[in-house]
């Protein structure tokens, strides 16, 4: 097969295929600058060298998290994490029009293509699209870098536009992203067997069990043993190597996130069973049956949303932890000041809250992308079932019943899943914090006279406060997530009417 | 003898589609495989063409064990030695008729111009040269099947497998497709395995192999083997 | 079948003499029994007696007496009436095949019935193949193709009915 034939066959497709190619390219174009930006942050001199005092600060930036070298790894991790929803959106878009593409590949197989050739055709599409997207992303990054390269009114830069990522990082990102996308596309195609006689999707038939809960428990336990563990290490005079803490945090979070996403399969299945058993209306029965038939579609669709909720809840938990911590310190400080007969000066803690606001921004960005991915999934679900829907409409099922079943199908699993994700996110932080904040008791000596002839020694006792569960924040977050899901389904329903026109019965 | 099989067994889950079928076809022969729906005739064709692999038994094409070949090896065999014609759905909806016919050549690495020339000449021989730039959705079912026949024959295969090739067509359109198929097969001395449930379609063949319940049915009427033994002893 | 109406139909396009009529008849309806000359002339005589045809011209061109006949006005009316009359839609219920199969299924000796049915199917299949070959011959005239279609459709109907009957009475697999 010549390369020209490969391209012709890979790009032969209808409007839906074109849309899929465009969306694949677009998500590569969004992910590339994010990764390039994180590489640029790494390239700022002094990256990751810890707290060396303000001498090593890069004062040319407006954001404190960029100024302090010790904070930059967090920025990099956040930026890299932000590409996850982007890439998940790309994966969701990869399913767009996939049945038609799979049929086409089966027909090509029938004409004598080897399995390898069929997979190469499908991979070529993704590879070409994401390579183009990556190139556009690189161009966009370079243009943006120039546009934002001039310092603002305060003589500072918003982004690290004064440094370029290392050459190897540039190449690795711009070439690696398309390669990764192609590899993922090929991996996903392994489930689809293009037999020459049609498409067989090897599906998992076993109903999902609640085993994902084990992963969540592992994550929570890992977090909960952190504080006691480190106290114990201190007592036996052993200092663990520096990577232990981030590693445990990472693995614990990963376990919990995976557990939430995988658990959605069980939640969907159970929600479907309950709807089937207790539903009396056709819409509930339809939605329940469909949830039981494909419980994993929910976890695929909502994965990013749930991870965003998890992080958002974690951020809310951290905010309430920090607030409690500062409150306890302030209490101790005020007590000490009162004892010493001195005025109390409050600490400036705004830095922490600004950083948490940045994380909230990233979560909102993720929710927006997750909503876009869900929209694609909902529309795809309606369009791919248009024959079944239009035959139902033709036999007299009101569109309203179909619409209600689609809404139920989306909402029935998403509400419990969001609750679980929020609970897990806040639990993780509480597990790390240990539920309450206790200030250390210490002795403080201070001078009361200018020449320091009299020294006052104050014994500051330990103050304890429970960390409250940030119920208001969590309700806002969960409400936002469910509202996003509902809005997406509502928009998707606009496609129900054209998709169920009786003429659609004629389409193949 | 160009193609034969022995003791073919193939199950789909608990149902046995083939329960030990043996058959042989001579070079240039047109064989009809007949029987009621569910008798295993399509499965037999799939095993012979290397589309599926039998659970047991052997398929031999010119001293070559088709059933032992890898998936890619069977795909190559289908591309070079075999042609397939199904009831519908084998054309790529997004490609034009000429591109569809040229597809097997392109997949085999033939140059684009050469493949196109060959495709156009086949469309001409099948009387659909004027449809070269049309997509399958824009032409009638009979015309689609003629394009599909062109695609099956463009590689000049030694064996053509046809599974109910006229099943979705009206009598006259089906007659045209079958007429072209038989004429071209005779011209090229192509062996044809024609699966059909329709006696009128089977009448285009030189010989008939009737199947019932996954085994050969020499009576053609499903009069069972035990009755045959009974008849033998009564005589 | 009404030979007289077929002859009227052949004369409708213009006068013909007896030999010509026989040839045209055998050509248009090749599957029907070939028409004997005697039958042509007796039929023509009857038609002339009834005033449906009349002798148009006599021709003696170095051969036997040849009378050309032409259709009359009452003849055309009769033809139109015949063409307008619907045939009773069950012309084959008295078929020998039906009688034989029914009897074959009734008789105790299954072996004989089985042999008869297999042989009958083989004969039908062979005839189908023969007719198909004749029909697909590039030189086949339209009349021959149409007649072959007619015979093929009926043979196919016979075969399908035979199979359905055997399946219905359970003579095939599964029953002892």
Whether the pLDDT of residue A203 is over 60: the answer is no
Range of the domain at A388: 247-437+469-506
Confirm whether A385 is domain-assigned: yes
Q: Please report the pLDDT score of residue B232 as a whole number.
A: 34
Q: Please report the pLDDT score of residue C109 as a whole number.
A: 63
Q: C38: domain CATH number?
A: 1.10.10.10
Q: Please report the pLDDT score of residue B62 as a whole number.
A: 93
Confirm whether A24 is domain-assigned: yes
Confirm whether C11 is domain-assigned: yes
Q: Which two tokens stand for residue A476?
A: 């806002």
Q: Please report the pLDDT score of residue C175 as a whole number.
A: 43
A and B adjacent (3 or more CB pairs under 8 angstroms)? yes
Please give the tally of structural domains in chain A: 2
Q: Which residues of B touch A13 (CB under 8 A)?
A: 94
Range of the domain at C147: 96-169
Backbone angles phi, psi at C85, to 5 degrees: -80, 130
Whether the pLDDT of residue A252 is over 80: the answer is yes
Shared-domain flag, residues A21 and A123: yes
Which residue does chain B place closest to C153, by CA atoms?
B200
Q: Please report the pLDDT score of residue B140 as a whole number.
A: 92
Shared-domain flag, residues A165 and A261: no
Of A172, A201, A230, the residue at which a domain comes to its end is A201
Q: Which of A61-65, A190-194, A463-467 has the highest mean pLDDT?
A: A463-467
Across B184-189, average pLDDT:
92
Shared-domain flag, residues C118 and C149: yes
C and B adjacent (3 or more CB pairs under 8 angstroms)? yes
Q: Please report the pLDDT score of residue B31 as a whole number.
A: 96
Shared-domain flag, residues A193 and A316: no
Shared-domain flag, residues A189 and A274: no
Question: Which of A3, A26, A19, A16 lies closest to A130, judged by CA?
Answer: A26
Q: What is the DSSP letter of A439?
A: P
Please, is A350 exposed, middle or buried when counting C-beta atoms within 10 Å of its C-beta (0-12, 13-18, 19+)? exposed
Please give the tally of structural domains in chain B: 1
Q: Please report the pLDDT score of residue C95 as a whole number.
A: 65
Which residue does chain C place closest to B232, by CA atoms?
C111
- Among B80-84, B204-208, C119-123, the minimum mean pLDDT is found in C119-123
Confirm whether C90 is domain-assigned: no
Range of the domain at B75: 3-234
Shared-domain flag, residues C108 and C144: yes
Question: Which of A130, A37, A28, A138 lies closest to A87, judged by CA?
Answer: A28
Confirm whether A454 is domain-assigned: no
Q: What average pLDDT does chain A have? A: 81
> Nearest CA of chain B to the CA of C7: how many Å?
30
pLDDT tens for residues B27-51? Answer: 999 999 999 888 899 999 999 998 8
Q: Please report the pLDDT score of residue C174 as a whole number.
A: 46
Please give the tally of structural domains in chain C: 2
The rounded distance, in Å, linking the Cα atoms of A148 and A390 is: 52
Q: Using an 8 Å Cβ cutoff, are A291 and A268 in contact?
A: yes
Q: Please report the pLDDT score of residue B235 as a whole number.
A: 32
Shared-domain flag, residues C72 and C9: yes
> Nearest CA of chain B to the CA of C6: how many Å?
27
User: What is the full DSSP assignment across A209-239?
Assistant: PTTHHHHHHHHHHHHHTHHHHHHHHHHTT--
Shared-domain flag, residues C123 and C50: no
Query: CA B191, B193, B196 angle in degrees (round to 5)?
Result: 150
Q: Using an 8 Å Cβ cutoff, are B20 and B44 in contact?
A: no
Shared-domain flag, residues A428 and A321: yes
Q: What average pLDDT does chain C have? A: 79
The rounded distance, in Å, linking the Cα atoms of B79 and B154 is: 10
User: What is the full DSSP assignment across A26-75?
Assistant: HHHHHHHHHHHHHHHHHHSTTTT-----GGG--TTBSSHHHHSGGGHHHH
Shared-domain flag, residues C50 and C80: yes
pLDDT tens for residues A272-323? Answer: 999 888 888 888 888 888 888 878 776 677 888 888 898 899 889 988 988 8
Which residue does chain B place closest to C174, by CA atoms?
B224
Shared-domain flag, residues A18 and A136: yes
The rounded distance, in Å, linking the Cα atoms of C18 and A165 is: 105
Of C25, C49, C84, the residue at which a domain comes to its end is C84
Confirm whether C174 is domain-assigned: no
| Biggest CA-to-CA distance, chain B | 68
Interface test with B, best of C113, C121, C137, C148 (most B CBs within 10 A): C121
Which residue does chain B place closest to A115, by CA atoms?
B72
Q: Please report the pLDDT score of residue B175 as a whole number.
A: 92
Cβ-proximal residues to B76 (8 Å cutoff; 6+ apart), any chain: A112, A114
The rounded distance, in Å, linking the Cα atoms of A52 and A198 is: 64
Of C84, C107, C125, the residue at which a domain comes to its end is C84
Confirm whether C116 is domain-assigned: yes
* Chain B, window 116-175: residues with a beta carbon less than 8 angstroms from a chain A beta carbon: 151, 155
Q: Please report the pLDDT score of residue C106 as a whole number.
A: 65
Confirm whether C119 is domain-assigned: yes
Confirm whether A123 is domain-assigned: yes
Confirm whether C176 is domain-assigned: no
Q: B122: domain CATH number?
A: 3.40.50.300
Shared-domain flag, residues A189 and A312: no
Q: Please report the pLDDT score of residue B26 as a whole number.
A: 95
- Among A333-337, B127-131, B184-188, the minimum mean pLDDT is found in A333-337
Does the ipTM surpass 0.90? no
Shared-domain flag, residues A258 and A139: no
Beta-carbon pairs below 8 A across chains B and C = 76
Shared-domain flag, residues C8 and C80: yes
Shared-domain flag, residues A169 and A251: no
Confirm whether A239 is domain-assigned: no
pLDDT tens for residues A95-134? Answer: 777 777 877 888 888 788 888 888 888 888 888 889 999 9
Cβ-proximal residues to B204 (8 Å cutoff; 6+ apart), any chain: B30, B32, B178, B181, B182, B194, C132, C136
Q: Please report the pLDDT score of residue B194 as a whole number.
A: 96
Confirm whether C25 is domain-assigned: yes
Of C56, C84, C112, the residue at which a domain comes to its end is C84
By Cβ distance, the residue of B75, B90, B100 closest to A114 is B75
pLDDT tens for residues A346-362? Answer: 778 888 888 888 888 88
3-class secondary structure, B234: helix
């Amino acid at each position: 097969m010549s390369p020209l034939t490969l391209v012709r066959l890979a790009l032969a497709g209808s409007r839906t295929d074109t849309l899929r190619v465009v969306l694949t390219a677009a998500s590569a174009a969004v992910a590339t600058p994010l990764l390039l930006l994180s590489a640029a942050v790494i390239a700022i001199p002094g990256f990751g060298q810890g707290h060396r005092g303000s001498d090593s600060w890069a004062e040319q930036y407006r954001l404190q998290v960029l100024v302090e070298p010790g904070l930059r790894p967090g920025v990099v991790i956040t930026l890299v994490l932000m590409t996850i929803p982007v890439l998940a959106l790309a994966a969701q878009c990869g399913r767009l029009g996939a049945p038609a593409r799979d049929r086409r590949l089966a027909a090509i197989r029938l004409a004598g293509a080897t399995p390898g050739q069929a997979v190469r055709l499908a991979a070529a599409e993704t590879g070409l699209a994401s390579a183009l997207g990556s190139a556009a992303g690189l161009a966009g990054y370079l243009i943006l870098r120039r546009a934002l390269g001039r310092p603002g009114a305060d003589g500072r830069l918003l982004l690290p536009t004064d440094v370029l990522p290392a050459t190897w990082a540039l190449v690795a990102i711009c070439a690696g992203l398309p390669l990764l996308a192609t590899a993922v596309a090929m991996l996903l195609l392994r489930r689809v067997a293009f037999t020459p006689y049609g498409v067989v999707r090897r599906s998992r038939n076993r109903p999902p069990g609640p085993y994902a809960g084990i992963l969540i428990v592992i994550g929570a336990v890992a977090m909960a043993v952190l504080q006691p563990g480190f106290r114990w290490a201190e007592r036996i005079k052993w200092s663990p190597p520096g990577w232990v803490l981030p590693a445990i945090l990472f693995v614990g979070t990963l376990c919990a996130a995976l557990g939430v996403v995988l658990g959605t399969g069980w939640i969907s299945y159970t929600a479907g069973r309950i709807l089937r058993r207790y539903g009396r209306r056709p819409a509930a029965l339809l939605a329940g049956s469909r949830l039981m038939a494909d419980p994993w579609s929910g976890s695929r669709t909502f994965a990013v949303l749930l991870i965003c909720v998890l992080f958002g809840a974690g951020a809310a938990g951290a905010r309430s932890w920090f607030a409690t911590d500062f409150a306890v310190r302030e209490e101790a400080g005020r007590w000490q000041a009162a004892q010493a007969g001195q005025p109390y000066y409050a600490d400036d803690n705004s830095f922490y809250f600004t950083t948490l606001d940045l994380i909230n921004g990233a979560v909102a960005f993720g929710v927006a992308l997750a909503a876009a991915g869900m929209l694609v999934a909902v529309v795809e679900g309606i369009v791919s079932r248009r024959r079944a829907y239009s035959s139902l409409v033709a036999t007299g099922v009101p569109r309203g019943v179909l619409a209600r079943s689609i809404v139920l199908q989306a909402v029935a699993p998403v509400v419990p899943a969001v609750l679980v994700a929020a609970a897990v996110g806040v639990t993780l932080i509480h597990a790390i914090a240990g539920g309450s904040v206790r200030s250390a008791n210490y002795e403080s000596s201070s001078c009361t006279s200018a020449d320091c002839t009299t020294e006052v020694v104050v014994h500051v006792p330990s103050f304890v406060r429970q960390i409250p569960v940030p119920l208001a924040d969590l309700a806002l977050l969960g409400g936002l997530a469910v509202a996003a899901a509902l809005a997406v389904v509502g928009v998707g329903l606009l496609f129900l009417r054209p998709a169920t026109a009786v003429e659609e019965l004629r389409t193949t | 003898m160009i193609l034969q099989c022995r003791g073919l067994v193939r199950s789909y889950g608990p149902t046995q589609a083939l329960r030990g079928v043996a058959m042989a076809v001579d070079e240039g022969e047109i064989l009809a495989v007949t029987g009621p729906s569910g008798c295993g005739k399509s499965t037999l064709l799939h095993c012979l063409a290397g589309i599926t692999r039998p659970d047991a038994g052997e398929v031999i094409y010119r001293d070559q064990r088709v059933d032992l070949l890898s998936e890619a090896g069977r795909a190559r065999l289908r591309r070079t030695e075999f042609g397939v014609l199904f009831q519908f759905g084998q054309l790529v909806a997004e490609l034009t008729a000429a591109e569809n016919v040229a597809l097997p050549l392109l997949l085999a690495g033939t140059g684009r111009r050469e493949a196109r020339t060959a495709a156009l000449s086949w469309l001409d021989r099948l009387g659909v040269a004027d449809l070269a730039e049309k997509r399958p959705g824009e032409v009638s079912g009979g015309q689609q099947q003629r394009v599909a026949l062109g695609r099956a024959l463009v590689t000049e295969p030694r064996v053509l497998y046809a599974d109910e090739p006229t099943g979705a067509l009206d009598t006259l359109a089906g007659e045209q497709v079958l007429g072209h198929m038989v004429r071209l097969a005779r011209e090229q001395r192509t062996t044809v395995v024609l699966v059909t449930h329709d006696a009128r379609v089977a009448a285009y063949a030189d010989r008939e192999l009737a199947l019932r319940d996954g085994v050969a049915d020499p009576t053609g009427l499903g009069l069972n083997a035990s009755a045959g033994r009974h008849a033998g002893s009564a005589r | 079948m009404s030979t007289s109406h077929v002859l009227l139909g052949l004369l409708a396009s213009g006068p013909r003499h007896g030999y010509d009529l026989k040839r045209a008849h055998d050509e248009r309806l090749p599957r029907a029994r070939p028409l004997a000359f005697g039958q042509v002339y007796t039929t023509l005589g009857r038609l002339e007696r009834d005033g449906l045809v009349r002798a148009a011209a006599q021709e003696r061109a170095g051969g036997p007496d040849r009378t050309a006949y032409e259709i009359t006005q009452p003849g055309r009316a009769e033809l139109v009436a015949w063409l307008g009359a619907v045939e009773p839609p069950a012309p084959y219920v008295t078929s020998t095949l039906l009688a034989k199969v029914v009897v074959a299924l009734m008789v105790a000796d299954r072996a004989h019935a089985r042999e008869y049915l297999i042989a009958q199917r083989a004969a039908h299949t062979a005839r189908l193949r023969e007719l198909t070959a004749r029909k697909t011959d590039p030189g086949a005239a339209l009349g021959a193709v149409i007649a072959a279609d007619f015979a093929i459709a009926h043979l196919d109907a016979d075969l399908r009915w035979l199979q359905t009957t055997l399946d219905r009475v359970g003579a095939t697999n599964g029953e002892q």
